[in-house]
Structure 1
Amino acid sequence: MGNRAYNFNAGPAALPLEVLEQAQQEFVDFRGIGMSIMEISHRSAQYEQVHQETQNLLKELFNIPQGYKVLFLTGGASTQFAMVPMNFLQPGSVGAYSLSGAWADKAIKEAKLFGETVIAASSKEQKYMRMPDLSNLSLPENTAYLHVTSNETIEGSQLQSYPDTGNIPLIADMSSDILSRQVDVSKFGMIYAGAQKNLGPSGVTVVIVREDMLEKANQSVPTMLRYDTHVKNDSLYNTPPSYSIYMINLVLQWIKRQGGLDVLSKINRDKTSLIYDTIDNSAGFYKGCVDVDSRSIMNITFRLQTEELEKQFAKESEQQGFVGLKGHRSVGGLRASTYNAVPYESCKALADFMNDFSKRNG
């Protein structure tokens, strides 16, 4: 597979090559049953084994404590933006949000459709080029939850630590950095993440919800949009995205073979440092967008001195086999997404290309 691209797409994103090869081998005949896993019933013993195995692997690798349920839902994080307030924003309470970037802003806009919201912290005045300070929050007594976005994919910022919210449930959108590092899951009332960055292909959303959250959830919500529906039915209330869940299973097995999250976290920091060091040592040719103490290890955003140079960089990088380096259309610039499955060698190749480009154009 020597013709594999250097894939820095922001999502859907790179998947481990050995995972793709295993899926290829099992595509037509899954574990000797004479059918693809896409062809079998989600009520079959073969699929239910994969379903349970995937939940158990996630619990093991992410150190999910007792009292939490793992759900496989559809609709991406964008649906979760609405499901969270629909289920947990009771009349007379407020949903508190950290406004950290484009994705947090979308979550807030959805919440406002269902109840009162407050901005607990914001970095909007800094143009989202850093994460909001969550160290001295003052939340209203009637706060139903605090919602944070752990990593802003578009801007390239990442929370370095999480606040202690006491009795107020902490809810996190971890779509961009789940399983890139270990976190204390017991701090959270709920975590959710679209799969298409670190977990697998698009089509499935992982939700990790603390069971006591369900006791105070709204009941006047459509059946499919209630978390307790999916908890009671083990994410099998309707036909699940079975192939995407199977792919998550293979990715989780791959993570386990790498040595788990402690090993992956070190690899992620090492490979990301290659690119950040290139930016910082370029004598101003490259400029990192985000404040150093908020930099993401998943999405590296940077600019060049002119937009013309950025266009030239994008064009030449594509010719050299690099994919996905253009910044999001809403902010421009350049972005390298270095998710778990992006190899160290790809980041080394990008750093080398960046050094060569600066020498030729500096």
Structure 2
Amino acid sequence: MDAPDSSGDLLAHTHRTGTGTLRDLLSELHGRLATMNDGSVATYIPELAKMDADLFAITIVGIDGRVLEVGDAAQLFSLQSMSKPFVFGQALEDHGREHVLGKVNVEPTGEAFNSILLDEQTNRPFNPLVNAGAIATADLIDGRDFPERLTRLLKIFERYTGRTVHFDNSMFYSERATGHRNRAIAHLMRNFGMISDRIDETLDLYFQQCSIQVNCRDLAVMGATLANAGVNPITGEQAIRAEYVKDVLSIMFTCGMYDSAGSWAYGIGLPAKSGVSGGIIAVVPGQFGIGVFSPRIDARGNSARGVAVCRELSQRYGLHVFEAGFRGKTLKEDFEN
């Protein structure tokens, strides 16, 4: 493996060392990892069990809007937990830090993502990226009624992806039919005043946000938007106010990869969020977003191939945010399309 480049500029590194273009690297990486069959498709939501386990895509989007992708990049799938940091960001915009942090904490937890436990001292969910915290932030989506709140929910993700997105109704009903544990979590939080009394409506919002359909390019654009101080690099639209980008990236870094968040932060070192549909969004601040999609997930709910892709990119090019010499430079050379 090549030594990390001290500039943190992935494209410049590939050209200077003669290891080939970034397109060559991603094609090689995709071909090699496509034979990796670790993990299995999630089955606890019936609709997820129908996914083709062999689908696989990698996309990188620079903060200047350039796109490089290999594999099944246009294949649609549901956002699942990858939706959580973006709804957290909207809650911050709507209500401010003080109010939001009064409803949900920002501490990592070694508990499972669907744990029914709350913080013993404050009765808050541990963070916005476990199910309890995500339900609490979904409850904070403003609107006069449910249709308006649902419309606002879609608009959040349309600003990040730069295109019209839709709910997968089959996935929504599948989530809703099997969401008994989430209902228990919601009622427990209502008991402590962490969410409002519109429990069923908020749960439907939460199930709907998890069912939003995206593709691998969308994941990378969403990541690039966060890398670009909240400005979508494709459309130029401000998806989230710059002052709240650090909140979202911080929580992704510490809590984004289920209960392997610590080992991810230590070994890969990028703000990221995974989903049980097989997607991973990773962010190299000031440079680009990485999207990976492969439905085979490991025992902790993360895409096995996705983790392998991000680990190799991070280690080969010194992308860990605490890498000695990392400066977060923007991409200087063109993607080869």
- Same structural fold, with TM-score higher than 0.5 when normalized by the shorter chain: no
Q: What is the TM-score of this pair, normalised by structure 1?
A: 0.27
- Answer with 1 or 2: which has the greater Rg: 1
Answer 1 or 2: higher relative contact order, Cα 8 Å, separation at least 6.
2
Q: What is the TM-score of this pair, normalised by structure 2?
A: 0.29
More helix by share: 2
More strand by share: 1
